[in-house]
Amino acid sequence: MSTNPALTLALIGNPNCGKTALFNLLTGARQKVANYAGVTVERRSGEFADTGGRRYQLLDLPGTYSLHASSADEVIARDAVLGGLKGERQPDLMVVVLDATNLHLGLRLVLELKAIHRPLIVVLNQIDVARQRGIEINQVRLADLLGCQVVTTVAIARAGAAALLQALPGFSATPQTRLALAKQSVEDLYRQVDQILLQVLTNPGRYPHWQDQIDRVVMHPLLGVLLLMAVMFSMFQAVFAWAAPLMDGITATITYLGGMVAAAMPPSALRSLLVDGFFAGVGSVIVFLPQILILFAFILALEDSGYLPRAAFLLDRLMRGLGLSGRAFIPLLSSFACAVPGIMATRTIPDPRERLITIMVAPLMTCSARLPVYALMIGAFIPRQAVLGVFNLQGLTLFALYLAGIFSSVAVAFVLKRAGGRSQSYPLLLELPSYHWPRLRGVLIGLWQRMQIFLRRIGTIILALMIVLWFLSSYPAPPPLATEPAIYYSLAGMLGRAMEPVFAPIGFNWQICIALVPGMAAREVAVSALGTVYALSADGDALKAALGSIIQAQWGLPTAFAFIAWYVYAPQCLSTLVTVKRETQSWLKASGLALYLFGLAYLAALVTFRIASWITS
Amino acid sequence: MNSSLQSLDQLQRGQHGHIGALVGNASFGPMDGLVTLRLQELGFLPGAKLEVIGHGFLGRDPVAVRLGSTKFALRLAEARKVMVQVATLA
């Protein structure tokens, strides 16, 4: 048995049927489970074994309503089962996942898949919810009528896939065939579905009333929009208010450790590397982990709850004026966490022009990598004081920066829409899935992933850049009669001073110019770079103050605001640019994005610097 | 009970009925057939029971409906394609 190659299985089913949760349960792959139609746009695969030790390769296909694909992710699902997806083995067995509370929609897909004559097994998922609603399904009869095995699962329970695991050993590898899509009339298929349901559904159950009551508020044109604003606002307040004690703790720990190292070692290059490069550089970024996790916790919980498609519904009209639709809301919201998954999630948008506009404005959403930059500046220049008793001025400032990004994206989308001329209308047709409580386990898995990604970045790219930067900033050594700090005479100092004339009009000094260079890789790197640059700029051996207090003392308000304005726009993130290239299949579009964002960044910083200088003088 | 055939975009919140037919809408151009297909695939078929549960922010567009055990949001352009036998109390 062990010499046989693993059987390849593909999970296929409607969006929101709990397919991804089932995938997690089977493979233990730690990945996101969400309720929004179309979160599974990445290829996700994993391996698992049954109780007999037989191995399986499982592929999680994007959610699809039909093999008549209408968006990029549905095309992937269709091609995978038909055997036409490049570089992908046609699955030996299709595991067709149905939401047991919504058999009508799922069974049609089963019939469509049956017509391509490949082995399949039908899984009735969320059978627990179906039972709660009083839905009774005659499973034996259903298997008879469909002519295939039918099992039930509860993807969110520990042993919820036992029945599926027991059924799998009965299947064996099937030869690969390239298939064409069979033409079938939808009416015929549904007639068959109705016939089946008539014999199988012994009790249709009732749609829970509380779901409708929630929708009465959430989808109300006025109350719903107020609620949406309240949700967004509390999210951003929480990022600042809840994270503060944790961040203070981390800062204190790093300062303490850095101080210990500095005290324990004689002055040397190694001590400088550890204290100025590692503790000052890397430490200044790690502080922002709590804020990033709080932001992700909100987004993951919202995705899981079923709320987001309602927000998309409410905002559809508003976004249409920008050449977008409600569908663009979810990718754009994800972009607040990180533009990379946001840009990939645009695959669920059927209209190619809308998809391009969404990709072009997604980097304007304030992503979590900007948080360290904003938080540093806000912490240093905005007093921590209460406004109207309940709000915190720092939180309000952060909220204003998020709004700046949103309004800029509105303006850019509007221009792009105008530039594109008239386009054909595309339907919205958005499913509004049932609500459920966000599953703590799913959210925790998501947060764990984010934490790993963040720490891995710190441990690899940020650490490496900081060591290089420390080296460039420390050598060559200053001349004997130096009047400036040593870094001024170093390679990095020369580079910074060479760049200064270009950035002087927007108020950036040579230290900022140095930080901008490694900051091209990722935005938060600029913070660690500033940490290292200023640690090396400080005179004497006195224990270095936190970065915030240093820049507070050395930068004027106009420079601080110009720096913030620069970061609202600057596309200082290689991963984003690479993702845009991959998704649009065009270097031209990716470089167009970079150019227009750098242009806006310079312009915004210039205007901010001039206005702030004029006000403060 | 009495009934009349109206297109879905004309219906008010709370009105319900059965779908009578799907009709063409020229604003989708050559894609109109695909939109019809997708509506059918989602279950918008003659005889299906449907209820209007709400409208979007600013005006009546989009419209949210309950169809069987699912809910969907449609723009008025799609809704215009769905003719509904509206149930009215006599």
Domain locations in chain A?
A: 7-207, 459-616
**Is beta strand A7-13 parallel, antiparallel or unpaired with respect to A93-99?**
parallel
pLDDT of residue A40: 41
CB B84 within 8 A of CB B9: no
What backbone torsions phi and psi does residue B54 show, to the nearest 5 degrees?
170, 170
pLDDT of residue A339: 83
- Min distance B2 CA to chain A CA atoms (Å): 26
Contact across the interface for A219 and B58, Cβ inside 8 Å? no
Confidence of residue B60 (pLDDT cuts 50, 70, 90): confident
Residue A170: C-alpha distances to residues A58, A93, A165, A333, A582 (Å): 16, 11, 10, 43, 40
Reduced to 3 states (helix: H, G, I; strand: E, B; else coil), residue A289 is helix
pLDDT of residue A423: 67
Confidence (pTM): 0.81
Cα separation of A82 and A115, whole Å?
11
CB A300 within 8 A of CB A438: yes
pLDDT of residue A38: 39
Which residues of chain A register pLDDT less than 50? 1-2, 30, 32-41, 540-543
Q: ipTM score here?
A: 0.93
Cα separation of A277 and A269, whole Å?
11
DSSP characters over A114-127? HTTT--EEEEEE-H
Average pLDDT, rounded, for chain B: 88
**Is beta strand A55-60 parallel, antiparallel or unpaired with respect to A7-13?**
parallel
- Min distance B7 CA to chain A CA atoms (Å): 16
From the candidates A219, A348, A424, A434, which should be mutated to test the interface with B, based on the most B CB atoms within 10 A? A219
DSSP characters over A163-213? HHHHHGGG---------PPPP--HHHHHHHHHHHHHHHEEEE----HHHHH
Q: What is the pLDDT of residues B10-49, one digit of tens each?
A: 999 999 999 999 999 988 888 898 899 999 999 999 999 9
Which residues lie below 8 Å from residue B59, measured CB to CB, with a gap of 6+?
Answer: A317
Cβ neighbours around A599 below 10 Å, total:
11
Q: Name the CATH topology of B2-88.
A: SH3 type barrels. (2.30.30)
Give the residue extent of every domain in chain B.
Answer: 2-88
Contact across the interface for B53 and A102, Cβ inside 8 Å? no
pLDDT of residue A561: 93
Radius of gyration of chain A (CA): 28
Identify which of B38, B41, B66 has the shortest CB distance to residue A427: B38
Cα separation of A46 and A54, whole Å?
14
- Of all residues in chain B, the one with the smallest CA distance to A103 is B69
CB A405 within 8 A of CB A332: no
Instruction: Tell me, rounded to whole angstroms, the distance of Cα A36 from its chain centroid.
Output: 13
Cβ neighbours around A487 below 10 Å, total:
26
Q: Assign 3-class secondary structure to A427-447.
A: CCCEECCCCCCCCHHHHHHHH
Architecture of domain A7-207: 3-Layer(aba) Sandwich (3.40)
Contact across the interface for B54 and A221, Cβ inside 8 Å? yes
pLDDT of residue A545: 60
